[in-house]
């Protein structure tokens, strides 16, 4: 496996399976980094457990895709990851949607806080965009889960098992924002309602939190 890396020098993305013939994908990822391979990595797996997902992101993967979602979803996520891994040489300020300290780049699925790339995965970006698009309103665990996966997808134990997955994802998103800004507190939690992005929507779009609190 490692011996074939020279053939991938023109690649945009590396796709790893969790289980490979001679080494697990999760163990291969750090070896790639040690060898100077900096291409973005996406895991494609039939073992989409929360533990595996967390470990993949901790080791530097940019996305984690369940095989059952099909080739169309995989192709879409790979295009996003490939685009996000390229320098935005021609990007102009108007290419971004700005909400206070947050700026979103819809074309490449990137989120910036105070002009610093937060490093969200494509799935994490979709959740942030979803929350911001209805800022001030709580979105349910199920709605957020459907954004992360797809409507009707079921995982976890029991009818509300998916909530554990959502909590973990929101925690990971918050951690990434807090790494950029330790005072970050825009994502609010209601145990009964779900999550929301602080602020509210007015006639002209998002009203800044500072205006709301004045």
| 69 and 140 co-located in one domain | no
In tens, the pLDDT along 19-50 reads 877 788 888 888 887 777 778 888 888 877 87
What range defines the domain where residue 10 resides?
Answer: 1-86
Rounded to whole angstroms, how far apart are CA atoms 198 and 7?
47
Whether 3 shows a pLDDT value over 60: the answer reads no
- Phi, psi torsion values for 19, nearest 5 degrees: -115, 120
3-state secondary structure of 191: coil
Task: Give the pLDDT score at 197.
Answer: 94
| 127 and 172 co-located in one domain | yes
Q: Which of 46, 52, 45, 1 is nearest to 22 (CA)?
A: 1
In tens, the pLDDT along 47-100 reads 778 788 888 888 888 888 888 877 887 888 787 777 665 544 344 444 678 888
| 80 and 181 co-located in one domain | no
Who contacts 133 (Cβ-Cβ below 8 Å, separation ≥6)? none
Task: Give the pLDDT score at 61.
Answer: 84
Quote the tokens at residue 197: 């992005």
Task: Give the pLDDT score at 53.
Answer: 83
Quote the tokens at residue 125: 């970006």
Helix (H) or strand (E) holding 104: strand 102-105
pTM equals 0.60
| 187 and 105 co-located in one domain | yes
């Amino acid at each position: 496996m490692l011996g074939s890396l020279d053939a991938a020098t023109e690649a945009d993305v590396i796709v790893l399976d969790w289980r490979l013939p001679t080494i697990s994908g999760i163990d291969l990822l750090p070896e790639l980094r040690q060898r100077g391979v900096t291409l973005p990595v996406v895991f494609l797996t039939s073992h989409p457990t929360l533990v595996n997902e967390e470990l993949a992101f901790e080791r530097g993967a940019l996305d984690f895709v369940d095989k059952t979602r099909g080739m169309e979803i995989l192709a879409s996520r790979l295009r996003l990851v490939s685009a996000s891994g390229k320098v935005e040489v021609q990007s102009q300020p108007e290419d971004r949607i700005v909400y206070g300290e947050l700026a979103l780049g819809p074309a490449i699925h990137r989120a910036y806080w105070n002009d610093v790339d937060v490093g969200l995965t494509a799935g994490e970006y979709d959740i942030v965009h979803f929350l911001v698009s209805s800022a001030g309103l709580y979105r349910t665990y199920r709605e957020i889960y459907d954004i992360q996966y797809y409507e009707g997808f079921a995982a976890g134990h029991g009818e509300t098992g998916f909530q554990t997955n959502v909590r973990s994802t929101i925690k990971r998103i918050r951690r990434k924002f807090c790494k950029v800004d330790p005072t970050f507190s825009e994502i609010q939690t209601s145990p009964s309602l779900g999550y929301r992005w602080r602020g509210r929507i007015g006639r002209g779009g998002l009203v800044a939190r500072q205006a709301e609190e004045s």
